[in-house]
A and B are shown apart, each in its own frame.
Chain A
Amino acid sequence: MTTEISNLLGRRPVLLVLGLATVLFLAVACSSDGEDSDGELVIYSGRSESLIDPLIKRFEEATGIDAKVNYAGTGALAATLLEEGDRSPADVFFAQDPGGLGAIIDMVKPLDDDLIVRVPDWARSPDNLWVGISGRARTVVYNTNKLSPEDLPDTLDGFTDPSWKGRIGWAPTNGSFQAMVTGMRLIWGEDRTRDWLEGIVANEPSVYAKNTPTVAATGSGEVEVGFVNHYYLHRFLAEEGEGFAARNYFLPGGGPGSAVLVTGAAILKTADNESQAERFLDYLLSEDAQKYFSEQTFEYPLIDGVAHEELLPNLDSLNTPDIDVSDLGDLEATQNLLREVGALP
């Protein structure tokens, strides 16, 4: 008997492995097949797992609702939702930016008023189709070894000066950056925006894939300033310590360079678990969750009564331009403009 087994092992390892794997595969597949989405809230999250997972756990604890989260990029999830159409298993879409929500706007249902009113008007969709969850300010990150705040201009305009040649980092493919440019078009108009973009392009900025490497490059001194969202810096400070040689500079002159953007969430029309979905959004706009955003992810809370991280300036003092973030979802013209000036491939 034993020898038979060892013979089998000795002579047919490939067949054995194949057989075992098939059995395992079927076993796992069957077991996962049994789970139905009934009663489980399905969330598609374009916000990253490393930030959102602890919050989901708290939500589950607080409500007893079982939440399943599909994490991926906001764009990939928006495309997935569009491909899935009305067969989508998703109940909630939690997006990194209004653009992602805009892409699937036909697939979501209006939200309850009592949910919507918790955030300021500028931070939600005008037809109540999605609601802002947390705020992030556009800012300029600068290298503290090379620059001090006095060296920096009051508004983004100042960076088109030829003296900034080769010193700037940006991430033109990044959604937040493009939202900022959209804001720029709304505030400044097309021509001035184009002039600004051309001015920056003329200064030969280093092009990064997204915010993170831009901040990293600023901290290392590869570039001296970068146009980014404010909270990435805090991740670096947390991991690399106070010695990380970069700080945020909130443009005192305001304008598009200090636009505040939001992450947002919406409920799918086809949601099977509508009430759980509503409770999830309700939770995201609760004091508990908003505090989490403020304290753990260094974002701006959007409901009244929750203070932002003390390192951050007040939203009021940010001199934020008066734009509606839902308008920032219209990206096509922005992309065309960016392509025109050669900032986008």
Chain B
Amino acid sequence: MPAGTGLSWSPRRLLPLWLRREPLSLWLAAIAVAGAAALPALYLATRAADSSDTALDAIFDPDTAAILWRSIQLIVLVTLGSVLIAVPLAWLTVRTDLPFKRAWAVASVLPLAIPSYVGALAFISAFGPKGLLQGWLEAPFGIERIPDLYGLTGATIVLILLSYPYVFLTVRATLWRLEPEMEEASRSLGRSPWHTFRKITLPLLYPAIGAGALLVALYTLSDFGAVALLQYDTFTRVIFNEYNSAFNRASAAALSLVLLGVAVSLILIEAGARRRARYYAGANAARRERRIVQLGRWRLPASVFSGVVTFLALGVPVFVLVYWLVRGINAGESELFDFTALYNSVQFSIYAAVATVIAAVPISVLSVRRPGLLSAGLERFSYVGFAMPGIAVGLGLVFFGIRYATAIYQTVFLLVFAYVVLFLPVAVGAIRASLLQVNPRMEEAAMSLGRSRINAFLTVTVPVIRPGLAAAAVMVFLLTMKELPATLILGPIESRTLATSIWTAAEEAFFARAAAPSLLLVVASAAPMTFLVLRERSSR
């Protein structure tokens, strides 16, 4: 536009109308965040392209197909298992008169705080062919060896126990706000409680199950600790081997890209399922207290079920950790509790939680308020980081950080940036869910009363979605507390965290020294999680 015409020129004019309806800054923020989340993928592509022959060799190696198949098997089994455990557990702790159900709810979420390498190690110590269990069985029953849990079986069990809380949390949240009338209508149409659950409740939970299952699947895909210790070869093991033994970055990057491809497929599958399940957004908050299902004679089996899950997922790891700790103390270990590491962990995790929640808001708002190809694309994009091995995210940010952000390289800024990239989808998921329940007319009403758009958002919407923001923050806090590979690579020099302390001790077989920070980690993560679960009801 020629100068001096007197017409004000705004870049917004270039945008299509539908894009102009939200402030440009919101779109730019969302695009920037999604772009940041894509940096590690960009790095991998660069790395693989640099030595494309090696990369192509790695991708088209027949072994890669075999690994792909193994990874898919594990993902399918872990995801199914998590759903099978989490859905009944969520239902029992929300809808029934299960005794101590709040305690069960808290306990059922806490396995999320256990790093997979600790969980796997504890599981092997307890249930390995020569584990603690076998030791107890040997004297009275003469059992010298119990069946081997290594391989697919063990990896599946441990990953289910560590990741079912993702489904548990999303399903619980939806169960709270499903309209009871749906189920009542079914019952009054002559259908039994079981038929009602199968045909009405369960289908209405599909979107929540899908969202949780996606996180489980991506977590399984990117996990290294559990599969390594339980001797099941997946992508992450191969990638780890390429970095650590072969020192071959190109094929590591290429394999990471294949892994990313799997992740994107999973994301698209879930997106497709969600599209069919548009009704998710229509669920209103329930107006009436729902009827509590009387378990009657099922009380005992239900309690046993909750007890077994909690025992395996939380009790066993904690027991083993305490056992190691006591054994170490008896052997004369001292100064086991390192409070500097605790302080660093908590500090980083709080920054990560705040930064990730803030970063997640634009994408969440747009994907809820302006459903469309671009906003959906941005939202899906945010999942990329979660699916990638931490080491790839770490190296990607080393690559970009040292070149374009030297000032913040090896500072807490870049580390927090990495956490945002890694955990963005968890925050987006929680914030989206609570935004779906906010009537946008409220904000419009505030604006018509003279508030600016941002003011209306902060004073009307934010207080209403506070439970969602809190849930997002707590989840990111938890995940950051146990994050290892990116922390090791990107952490400011000499900033030991609980996760790195556990790693360094376990690496050298100092189990007591690993147990103490592990317990600190579980306790420090348990506190906000407990708060979150207990608040759930009052904040509805």
* A→B interface (CB under 8 Å): 14-15, 17-18, 21-22, 24-25, 28-29, 32-33, 42, 48-51, 68-76, 78-80, 82-85, 87-89, 99-100, 102-103, 173-175, 178, 206-210, 212-213, 215-217, 220-222, 232, 235-236, 238-241, 331-332, 335, 339, 344-345
Chain B residue nearest to A336 in the complex (CB): B246
Q: Flag if B246 contacts A79 (CB, 8 Å).
A: no
Most buried by B among A79, A217, A335: A79
Q: Flag if A68 contacts B493 (CB, 8 Å).
A: yes
Question: Is B432 part of the contact surface with A, judged by Cβ < 8 Å?
Answer: no
Q: CA separation between A339 and B63, bound complex, in Å?
A: 9
Q: CA separation between A236 and B512, bound complex, in Å?
A: 11
Q: Flag if B509 contacts A215 (CB, 8 Å).
A: yes
Q: Flag if A222 contacts B128 (CB, 8 Å).
A: yes
Q: Flag if A331 contacts B150 (CB, 8 Å).
A: no
Given contacts A73-B244, A173-B241, A345-B238, contact A21 B509 (CB under 8 A): no
Chain B residue nearest to A213 in the complex (CB): B229
Q: Which residues from B are CB-within-8-Å of A240?
A: 327, 331
Q: Flag if A14 contacts B231 (CB, 8 Å).
A: no
Q: Contacting B411 at CB < 8 Å: which of A18, A32, A42, A208?
A: A32
Total chain B interface residues with beta-carbon distance under 8 A = 79
Q: CA separation between A226 and B387, bound complex, in Å?
A: 34
Identify the 8 closest CB pairs spanning chains A and B, nearest first: A75-B244, A345-B233, A103-B247, A220-B130, A72-B488, A209-B228, A222-B130, A235-B509
CB distance from B57 to the nearest CB of A (A): 11
CB distance from A202 to the nearest CB of B (A): 18
Chain A interface mostly helix, strand, loop or mixed? helix
Question: Is B506 part of the contact surface with A, judged by Cβ < 8 Å?
Answer: yes
Q: Flag if B243 contacts A75 (CB, 8 Å).
A: yes
Q: Flag if B402 contacts A87 (CB, 8 Å).
A: yes
Q: Which residues from B are CB-within-8-Å of A82?
A: 249
Q: Which residues from A are CB-within-8-Å of B245?
A: 75, 99, 173-175, 178, 331, 335
Q: CA separation between A81 and B402, bound complex, in Å?
A: 11
CB distance from B284 to the nearest CB of A (A): 24
A83-B249, A89-B409 given; name 14 further pairs at CB < 8 Å: A24-B347, A24-B351, A25-B412, A32-B492, A33-B411, A78-B243, A79-B252, A87-B406, A173-B244, A173-B245, A178-B245, A220-B130, A222-B129, A331-B245
Q: Which residues from A are CB-within-8-Å of B485?
A: 76
Provide 9 A-B residue pairs closer than 8 Å at the C-beta atoms, listed in order of the A residue.
Answer: A14-B463, A22-B354, A32-B492, A49-B504, A69-B493, A70-B410, A76-B489, A80-B489, A174-B245
Q: CA separation between A190 and B351, bound complex, in Å?
A: 53
Chain B interface mostly helix, strand, loop or mixed? helix
Q: Flag if B398 contacts A72 (CB, 8 Å).
A: no
Q: Contacting A239 at CB < 8 Å: which of B128, B150, B228, B512?
A: B512
Q: CA separation between A88 and B505, bound complex, in Å?
A: 27
Q: Flag if A50 contacts B508 (CB, 8 Å).
A: yes
Q: Which residues from A are CB-within-8-Å of B244?
A: 73-76, 173, 175
Q: Flag if A69 contacts B238 (CB, 8 Å).
A: no
Q: Flag if B469 contacts A14 (CB, 8 Å).
A: yes
Q: Flag if B509 contacts A232 (CB, 8 Å).
A: yes
Question: Is B328 part of the contact surface with A, judged by Cβ < 8 Å?
Answer: yes
Q: Flag if B129 contacts A33 (CB, 8 Å).
A: no
Q: Which residues from A are CB-within-8-Å of B241?
A: 173, 335, 344-345
CB distance from A20 to the nearest CB of B (A): 9
Question: Is B289 part of the contact surface with A, judged by Cβ < 8 Å?
Answer: no
Question: Is B112 part of the contact surface with A, judged by Cβ < 8 Å?
Answer: no
CB distance from B75 to the nearest CB of A (A): 16
CB distance from A213 to the nearest CB of B (A): 6
Q: Contacting A29 at CB < 8 Å: which of B237, B249, B411, B512?
A: B411
Q: CA separation between A69 and B491, bound complex, in Å?
A: 11
Most buried by A among B67, B121, B245, B347: B245
